[in-house]
Amino acid sequence: MAEASATKDVEASAEAAWAVVGDFTTLHRWAVGMASLELTKGDGEALGSVRAVTMENGGGKVVEE
The C-alpha angle with vertex 19 and arms to 18 and 21, in degrees rounded to 5, equals 55
Whether residue 43 lies inside any domain: the answer is: yes
Q: Which pLDDT score, from 0 to 100, does residue 44 have?
A: 87
Residue from 22, 28, 18 nearest 55 by CA: 28
Whether residue 62 lies inside any domain: the answer is: yes
Q: Which pLDDT score, from 0 to 100, does residue 11 have?
A: 94
CB 37 within 8 A of CB 30: no
| Structural domain boundaries enclosing 60 | 33-65
Whether residue 65 lies inside any domain: the answer is: yes
Residues with pLDDT less than 70, the chain = none
The total of other beta-carbon atoms located within 10 Å of residue 3's CB is: 4
Regarding pTM above 0.75, the answer is no
Q: Which pLDDT score, from 0 to 100, does residue 30 have?
A: 86
DSSP state of 52: E
